[in-house]
Amino acid sequence: VDRLLIDPFPVPSPGASAVLLTGTSSGLGRHAALWLARDGYTVLATVRKAEDARLLAEAWQREKPLEKQLEKQTEKDSGGGDVVPIIMDVTSDESVAAASAAVDALLEERRLDLAAIVNNAGVNANGGILSAGGAVTSYEWNFGVNVFGVVRVTRQFLPAMKRGEKGGRVVNVGSVAGIIAADKGSPYTATKHAMEGMSDAWRRELAAEQISVSLIQPGFIASKMCNRKVCDDAYLPDFSKAVLHAVEDPYPQARYPVAGVVVMPAWLAVWFDALIPDRIADAIINMVAKKSGINADTAGVSHMTTNL
């Protein structure tokens, strides 16, 4: 249906394109950075610490010999891929502005277009409204990174994307938690619900600029943020494939539910929540959350998990 109603978005050329990807020190972000680079993109991979930048650069050096061993072999130029670590704190105006200046210089030096902004950096400090983890500070920290950080980065780097005059892509990493709220998960869940609405509004606003906005909705993929028994690292390639599709397909999806949610795939969980009456969904979700342990109170910011 999309193909009958909308024009295709411009498709970037990997060897001539850069992708800004935040939150690459570990987990989903690191996997996606290496995946995109193996596909030929120059990945401007942001981290907060010099040590994380060093480890990421070493990981890319180990990956380089595998560039030709992608599952998806195409005729595209896949020889230009690179991972360039960039020090940036998404909560700081000064840090984001400094990173933007460094990126502008690199794009000019390498004659690259900024094809996409992938907002992956996030934190998860949770708790119930009656517990220490549900204090205002938990909400402030979650929103500071997961929402305000996304706005700050996107506003800062959109002008560089528009200079290429070839459209572009904004890819926001939300969560199935943006659709399905779990017991004692309100600070994190609130930010991911905000991401849903923000992505919808941006998608409609930026379409006239030939800039696509997509939202990735990961389920339980093993990472520092999702480190319980229900989280599975076998889903990492599914996440990275979704990011790549959103970055380069002429008809990117508005939403990409990926991985699983306890006993069902993420896409089915999203549909389940939309179709089942709220009170019945409450009972089922609370029962599943209790059995799986995903509703444990993290007792405040000191116990937060991050993907920065």
Catalytic residues: 188
- Listed in sequence order, the residues at least 6 apart from 62 whose beta carbon sits closer than 8 Å to its beta carbon are none
Q: Six-digit token pair at 280?
A: 């019945």
DSSP letters along 140-192, please? Answer: HHHHHHHTHHHHHHHHHHHHHHHHTSS-EEEEEE--GGGTS--TT-HHHHHHH
Q: Six-digit token pair at 52?
A: 């994380």
Alpha carbon 275 to its chain's center: 26
User: How far apart are alpha carbons 90 and 145 in whole angstroms?
Assistant: 7
DSSP letters along 85-113, please? Answer: EEE--TT-HHHHHHHHHHHHHHHHHHT-E
User: How far apart are alpha carbons 54 and 84 in whole angstroms?
Assistant: 10
DSSP 8-state secondary structure symbol assigned to residue 263:
T
User: How far apart are alpha carbons 138 and 136 in whole angstroms?
Assistant: 5
